[in-house]
Amino acid sequence: MVKSSLRLLALSAAGSLLLLTSCGGSTPAPGDAAGSGGERQELLLVSYAVTKGAYDRLLPKFIASWKAKTGQELAIKTSYGGSGTQTRAVIDGLDADVVTLALAADVHKLEESGFVDPGWEKEFPNASIITNSAVAFLVRPGNPKRIASWADLTKPGITVVTANPKTSGGARWNFLGLWGSVTQSGGSQQKAETFVSGVYKNVDNLPKDAREASDVFLKRDQGDVLLNYENEAILATRSGVLKDPFVVPELNIRIEGPVAVVDKVVERKGTRKAAEALAAYLFSEEAQAVFAEEGFRPTNPTVWARVKGRFAPVKTFFTVADFGGWPKVNKEFFGDGGLWDRLFANTR
């Protein structure tokens, strides 16, 4: 079972922000001229752990495009980690110009803290959601435990790996997937509580974010099944680390990844124009195609029509709206003393 308390897990995760890395060359000195485009600028993109591969490809493309259109030199630094940890870091002073977090709930926290203006969802297409995904089950070669459905996760003798909902957006999606597998198929809340408690009794490890959860399962060979983003399963299969096909339940949660400009920061730094252009670029066909290649389900309809055959069919998606929306979910499911805290305590 989990070897330390939930509080210690959260504190440990909060102290493990990844180092900032520079994209597109060295960081320019403030005030350096950049020809007709004006002074060089530097942006900071703060995102959740599993998006790094996509942004390693996308940011150089945007920097080159911005230079061609405006003549301005631009450097973009990045920071990756668990979505909840990243959100707290921004509130505590990490100067993000743009955030692409694992769930809209974390952007709402930035809004509540005065960093993002109300109405951010309306600033970009598709309610500012740049990618979709689903919960996938990664299993051992040959699937010896015969794990094929949500219900199988409570079988005796099965060890489940999933990240910590207190620090990881992906883990919150996993939790909602588990819960909705019962309530969205006609089950009562009591049945959902019993089922979810049963799953977490089979959890030995709560890594701080989705990427660390992948490492625990794939690199450290812990657990019989990993609950994670579909894109993590796709990348693991493509790289040859995952040998067998993964399972995407046909009843699933639609995972929605938002983007937002951090208004409080860009106003102070004078970077709004470039930050808004970067956020808008993520909806372009070029960017959406890269997201698709990295295993995310694009939200651009044209790109989705081209690539949907690459993804597992899901018969029914349910969404956060089916649980009352993020403000209600944050309070009732993941707030202090909420459903997660109560069920977690009951499984120890």
Q: What phi and psi, each to the nearest 5 degrees, are found at residue 28? A: -75, 150
Give the chain's count of helices (H) and strands (E). Answer: 14, 13
Question: Per CATH, the architecture of 133-254+315-347 is what?
Answer: 3-Layer(aba) Sandwich (3.40)
Question: What's the confidence (pLDDT) of residue 251?
Answer: 97
Question: What's the confidence (pLDDT) of residue 205?
Answer: 79
Question: What's the confidence (pLDDT) of residue 37?
Answer: 58
Q: What's the length of the chain?
A: 348
Mean pLDDT, the chain cut into blocks of 10 residues (348 residues total): 35 36 37 52 96 97 97 97 94 98 95 97 97 96 94 96 91 96 96 95 89 92 95 90 89 98 98 98 98 97 96 96 93 90 77
Distance in angstroms (rounded) separating the CA atoms of residues 177 and 347: 18
Task: State both tokens at 314.
Answer: 């899901």
CATH superfamily assigned to domain 13-132+256-310: Periplasmic binding protein-like II (3.40.190.10)
Question: Which residue, chain included where needed, has tokens 């993964």?
Answer: 246
From the list 257, 199, 192, the residue with the least C-alpha distance to 226 is 199
Would you say 257 and 102 are in contact if contact means Cβ atoms under 8 Å apart?
yes
Q: Where are the domains of the chain?
A: 13-132+256-310, 133-254+315-347
Question: Helix 83-91 and helix 104-112: axis angle, to 10°?
Answer: 20
* Same fold: 13-132+256-310 with 133-254+315-347: yes
Residue 265 CB burial class (10 angstroms; 0-12, 13-18, ≥19): buried
Distance in angstroms (rounded) separating the CA atoms of residues 185 and 101: 29
Q: What phi and psi, each to the nearest 5 degrees, are found at residue 40? A: -65, 150
Question: Which residue, chain included where needed, has tokens 């044209």?
Answer: 302
Question: What's the confidence (pLDDT) of residue 244?
Answer: 78
Question: What's the confidence (pLDDT) of residue 343?
Answer: 84
Residue 301 CB burial class (10 angstroms; 0-12, 13-18, ≥19): exposed
Question: What's the confidence (pLDDT) of residue 70?
Answer: 96
Q: What is the DSSP string of 218-287?
A: HTS---SEEEEEHHHHHHHHHHTSS-S--B--SEEE-EEEEEEE-HHHHHHHT-HHHHHHHHHHTTSHHH
